[in-house]
Amino acid sequence: MFQLTRRGALAAGLMLAATAGATAQETPVKGGILNMIAQPEPPMLMVGLNTQGPTLYVGGQIYQSLLTYGKDLQPLPSLAKSWAVSPDGLTYTFTLQDNVKWHDGKPFSADDVVFTADKFLRESHPRWRLIAATYVESITAPSPNQVVFKLKKPFSAFLYAFELSSFPVIPKHLYDGTDYRTNPANQTPIGTGPFKLKEWKRGSYIHLVRNEDYWKPGKPYLDELYFRIIPDAASRAVAFEKGTVDVLRGGDVEGFEVRRLVKLKDVESTTSGWEVYGPLVFMQLNQRKMPFSDKNVRKALMHAIDRDFIVKNIFFGLGKAATGPFASTTLYYTPEVTAYPFDMAKAKKLLADAGINPGDYSVKLMPLPYGAAWDRMAEYIKQQISQLGFKIDIQGVDAGGWSQKTSDFDFDMTFNFTYQYGEPALGVARHYLSSNVVKGTPYGNNQNYLNPKVDALLAEGASAVSKDVATKAYAEAQKILVDDVALNWLYEMQNVTINRQKVKNLVNTGIGLNQYMDEVWISK
Amino acid sequence: MKFFQRYAKNYGALIGLGILIVVAIVALAAPLLFPVSPWQSVGDPLLAPSEDPAFPLGTDMLGRDIAAGLAYGARVSLLIGLISTAVAVVIGVSIGALAGYYGGRIDDVLMRFTEFFQTIPAFAMAIVLVAIFNPSITSITLAIAIVSWPPVARLVRGEFLSLRSREFVQAAVVIGQSGPRIMFTQILPNVISPIIVTASLMVATAILTESSLSFLGLGDRNMMSWGFMIGAARTMLREAWWMSVFPGVAILLTVLAINLIGEGLNDAMNPHLRGRKD
């Protein structure tokens, strides 16, 4: 009945081979303390209830998900050691690791996974709730180390819904039948990960220690993890320079500091480890009214903005110009779409040919209030667009104001960036589906892009059983979206992880530092 | 004529006046000197001063001309300085004159009102006002005016209190002049000198306040101002000192010039100091 694909086992083998290759020259040594920064201080460490960056960073050492993903976005085993998909794409069977224990000593079993998927996350996780309601028919545990998801209809992205921020496994014995948000266990997180919470001194540090009963024998290598809380950006850079912390995550220090710190001695840096998230920055133009309801205007704006200039001179080179709706790391990405090179003359010609007199329109630009670089980008874009003849005013708002105005469609022009989660159905389609023109979130189809053909193609991609069908549908969708300029894509963000060279094996997967650090070690 | 002679004896005041005139000319002539908007990228980013003769003061991270920014920033600084001071003086003089002339309960009410404003730190209140009314050149000017009138009110009230019992005022009352007329035609002309001296210093404070607001990102996002230039350049201080140093020097010189002028006016107008320098 089942045609078991051996993807899981194969991937596991590949990862072992990769690890072996990386550590061939040097043998990992046990012991040591790794110092990092949690910025800003997370509100809690319970990953199932809060998925902000710092919560995932710290909580990812405590909680684990069924799967994790490589830098090439291949699913890799985590709490599930192997998995199989039925040929009709409707049944997913996960086989769990053996001898896994919760931090409080209770055994971990398939019941915990069923509880997590069917009760906990269905209630408390917006993305899982949507997937579960739309696609999942039943979740069962036929044996203590097997979980079976049966789907109502095929969903090609389903295997990508088990990443840490989407599917952390929660202990049933602590949460079943309680009010999740007020459960005291939220303060003393109990997971299956390589590190346990020892102490959280608010405003100062979060201290994790080695889980002696960890299910991977001999792991983790490190004894202790400290996540320091340092509210001031300049002090964070100094802490790294002085060696108080060994690792800086993307965003811990400002872009101009990154450029300086990566040049220090004994320091290495990488932009990998964000492949799953693939943050893409775009300009959102409200298509409900003129001038942006005319796609020639949106095209003209694409030509009028030098995206390489933005990356190089405003964001300190930490990124690359976007070519379309998919980040280049996201599955099914194709570069074969219409290009919009920087060309002011062409932009003006497009407007003239469409019979548009830019002077007739006065437009408000609402920048994203995330700091100096974003303000510079607003100034640059304002200047470029006013060269076309539009009257344009920058309207400064705070973070709450931005979120509210964007959610209420009360904008002409704004910036935004979102994670893509590796799979278009999870992180990309939401901006273009006409069914997602809903108030209340700044991360939907707030610009009001409506195209039934794109809706159909995105649905076809999401429900495809074969990879070829999905590839074809998504390639076609990308072509149309780029021709329509559904959003004015600017650039793919790159986050730099900086660490002292003595810290080994830090970034191994496509979720980077959110990956539990059971393979990380410090050379003496 | 005598006034100018007395003023000219103070060399500092003359230098201040000279600097201010230069700043004012640059501000007025900005569109002629720099026909392209100061927000427009005109050259390569981060050109050091005189690296390219076209940009003697260099360019910023977006390739905008620093010199153009300074010229247009002078417009904003002077405009906000003058208008906010004018508004503050009108409010301050009206309240101070009413309180000082009528005294009694009116005085009590108006002075408690003034004290209410004086107890709140001026800059903190300016930030709150600008944040509430959204940063724009109008809201910034008004916010600065609102936080800077109380000293004027107190000064004018004090002068009115002492002048209203003088003989010439009593004479005016006896011949039947109305209250407002006495205030404006008899007393006010005698209070003009301290008001002018205070106001000249308030212009300097207003320019500093506007710069600080812009530095914090609460400036008018569509107007180039010196404080904004420094705020934007702050992160690049190690790489491009010229981006923050030149607007800083512009603020320093302008504020210094106005203070020198204030000092000079004080010397020239204050009868008690007449002959001090002789």
Nearest CA in chain A to B237: A256
Q: Where in chain A is the domain with CATH 3.10.105.10?
A: 280-493
Tell whether the model's pLDDT for residue A212 goes beyond 90: yes
Interface touch B61/A387, C-beta < 8 Å? no
Question: pLDDT by residue (tens digit) across A99-127?
Answer: 999 999 999 999 999 999 999 999 888 88
Q: What is the pLDDT of residue A4?
A: 43
Interface touch A314/B62, C-beta < 8 Å? yes
Return the axis-axis angle of helices B66-102 and B150-163, rounded to nearest 10°: 40
Distant-in-sequence, close-in-space partners of A18: CB < 8 Å, separation ≥ 6: A508
Q: What is the pLDDT of residue B276?
A: 52
- Cα–Cα nearest to A135, from A120, A144, A122, A146: A122
Task: Give the whole-number percent of chain A exceeding pLDDT 70.
Answer: 95
CA distance B217 to chain A (A): 9
DSSP H helical ranges for A193-288:
233-242, 255-261
User: Residue holding tokens 């690049």?
Assistant: B236
Distant-in-sequence, close-in-space partners of B83: CB < 8 Å, separation ≥ 6: B141, B145
Higher pLDDT, A11 or A273: A273
Given this structure, which CATH class describes domain A30-62+193-274+495-524? alpha beta
Q: What is the pLDDT of residue A127?
A: 85
How does strand A91-96 pair with strand A136-143? unpaired
Interface touch A372/B45, C-beta < 8 Å? no
Question: pLDDT by residue (tens digit) across B149-165?
Answer: 999 999 999 999 999 98
Interface touch B221/A314, C-beta < 8 Å? no
Distances (CA, A) of A460 to A155, A463, A477, A478: 10, 5, 10, 13
pTM score: 0.81
HSE-CB of A70 using CA atoms within 13 angstroms: 15
Interface touch A394/B222, C-beta < 8 Å? yes
The tokens for B258 are 């106005």
Instruction: Decide if A507 contacts A272 (C-beta within 8 A).
Output: yes
CA distance A419 to chain B (A): 27
Coil vs helix vs strand at A505: coil
Domains of chain B (ranges, CATH numbers): 2-277 (1.10.3720.10)
Question: pLDDT by residue (tens digit) across B43-92?
Answer: 888 899 988 899 999 999 888 999 999 999 999 999 999 999 999 999 99
- Cα–Cα nearest to A159, from A497, A512, A464: A464
A67/A330 Cα distance (integer angstroms): 17
B236: contact with A, CB 8 A cutoff: yes
- Cα–Cα nearest to A310, from A492, A146, A44, A93: A492
**Mean pLDDT in chain B?**
91
Sort out which chain B residues have CB atoms less than 8 A from A375's CB and list them. 217, 221, 232
User: Residue holding tokens 């949690």?
Assistant: A38
Distances (CA, A) of A517 to A57, A224, A512: 10, 11, 10
A82/A222 Cα distance (integer angstroms): 27
Nearest CA in chain B to A366: B221
- Single-letter amino acid code for the residue at B75: R
Nearest CA in chain B to A382: B39
CA Rg, chain A, in Å?
Answer: 24
- Cα–Cα nearest to A15, from A500, A505, A467: A505
- Most A CBs within 10 A among B37, B41, B139, hence the mutation to make, goes to B41
Q: What is the pLDDT of residue A12?
A: 46
Report how many Cβ contacts below 8 Å link chain A to chain B. 46
**Category of A266 on φ-ψ map: left (φ > 0), alpha (ψ -120 to 50) or beta:** left
B158/B168 Cα distance (integer angstroms): 18
CA distance B211 to chain A (A): 17
Please give the average per-residue pLDDT across A218-239, as a whole number. 92
User: Residue holding tokens 């002539």?
Assistant: B29
B232: contact with A, CB 8 A cutoff: yes
Return the axis-axis angle of helices B66-102 and B226-233, rounded to nearest 10°: 130
Sort out which chain A residues have CB atoms less than 8 A from B38's CB and list them. none
Q: What is the pLDDT of residue B275?
A: 56
Please give the average per-residue pLDDT across A207-217, as a whole number. 95
The tokens for B128 are 């709150």
Return the axis-axis angle of helices A467-484 and A452-463, rounded to nearest 10°: 160
Task: Using the Cα atoms of residue B115, residue B118, residue B119 and residue B120 in order, give the sign of their dihedral.
Answer: positive
Instruction: Decide if B184 contacts B137 (C-beta within 8 A).
Output: no
Beta bridge partners, A394, equal A365
The tokens for B64 are 């905008």
Q: Beta-carbon neighbour count of residue B252 at 10 Å?
A: 11
Question: pLDDT by residue (tens digit) across A460-512?
Answer: 999 998 889 999 999 999 999 999 999 999 999 999 999 999 999 999 999 99
Interface touch A396/B40, C-beta < 8 Å? no
Sort out which chain A residues have CB atoms less than 8 A from B232's CB and list them. 372, 375-376
B180: contact with A, CB 8 A cutoff: no
A243/A245 Cα distance (integer angstroms): 5
A472/A451 Cα distance (integer angstroms): 18
Question: pLDDT by residue (tens digit) across A358-397?
Answer: 999 999 999 988 878 888 999 999 999 999 999 999 988 8
Instruction: Decide if A332 contacts A429 (C-beta within 8 A).
Output: no
Q: What is the pLDDT of residue A3?
A: 44
Q: Beta-carbon neighbour count of residue B174 at 10 Å?
A: 8
Q: What is the pLDDT of residue B239?
A: 81
HSE-CB of A333 using CA atoms within 13 angstroms: 23
Instruction: Decide if B168 contacts B186 (C-beta within 8 A).
Output: yes
Sort out which chain B residues have CB atoms less than 8 A from A256's CB and list them. 235-236, 238-239
CATH architecture of the domain with range A63-192: Alpha-Beta Complex (3.90)
Coil vs helix vs strand at A110: helix
Phi, psi at B204, each rounded to 5°: -60, -45
Beta bridge partners, A322, equal none
Phi, psi at A298, each rounded to 5°: -65, -40
Interface touch A376/B238, C-beta < 8 Å? no
Q: Where in chain A is the domain with CATH 3.90.76.10?
A: 63-192
Instruction: Decide if A326 contacts A420 (C-beta within 8 A).
Output: yes
How does strand A362-366 pair with strand A521-522? unpaired
Sort out which chain A residues have CB atoms less than 8 A from B133's CB and list them. none
How high is the ipTM of this complex? 0.76
For chain B, give me the number of helices (H) and strands (E)? 12, 0
Nearest CA in chain B to A257: B235
Instruction: Decide if A488 contacts A301 (C-beta within 8 A).
Output: yes
Distant-in-sequence, close-in-space partners of A100: CB < 8 Å, separation ≥ 6: A79, A107, A108, A192, A215
Coil vs helix vs strand at B124: helix
Nearest CA in chain A to B224: A379
A395: contact with B, CB 8 A cutoff: yes
Q: What is the pLDDT of residue B205?
A: 94
Confidence band of B38 (pLDDT split at 50, 70, 90): very high
Distant-in-sequence, close-in-space partners of A316: CB < 8 Å, separation ≥ 6: A255, A256, A258, A259, A373
Nearest CA in chain B to A373: B232
- Cα–Cα nearest to B24, from B190, B218, B203: B203
- Most B CBs within 10 A among A260, A263, A309, A383, hence the mutation to make, goes to A383
Q: Where in chain A is the domain with CATH 3.40.190.10?
A: 30-62+193-274+495-524
- Which of B37, B40, B61 comes nearest A376 by C-beta? B61
- Single-letter amino acid code for the residue at B101: Y
Instruction: Decide if B33 contacts B26 (C-beta within 8 A).
Output: yes
The tokens for A152 are 């109502």
Given this structure, which CATH class describes domain A280-493? alpha beta
Interface touch B134/A256, C-beta < 8 Å? no
Confidence band of B273 (pLDDT split at 50, 70, 90): low
Beta bridge partners, A66, equal none
A186/A172 Cα distance (integer angstroms): 13
Confidence band of A257 (pLDDT split at 50, 70, 90): confident
Distances (CA, A) of A288 to A295, A423, A430, A437, A448: 12, 28, 18, 11, 6
The tokens for B191 are 């209070």
Question: pLDDT by residue (tens digit) across A409-426?
Answer: 999 999 999 999 999 999
Instruction: Decide if B128 contacts B207 (C-beta within 8 A).
Output: no
Tell whether the model's pLDDT for residue B236 goes beyond 90: no
- Which of B37, B46, B222 comes nearest A393 by C-beta? B222
Phi, psi at B65, each rounded to 5°: -75, 120
A476/A337 Cα distance (integer angstroms): 9
**Burial (CB count within 10 angstroms: exposed 0-12, middle 13-18, buried 19+), residue A3:** exposed
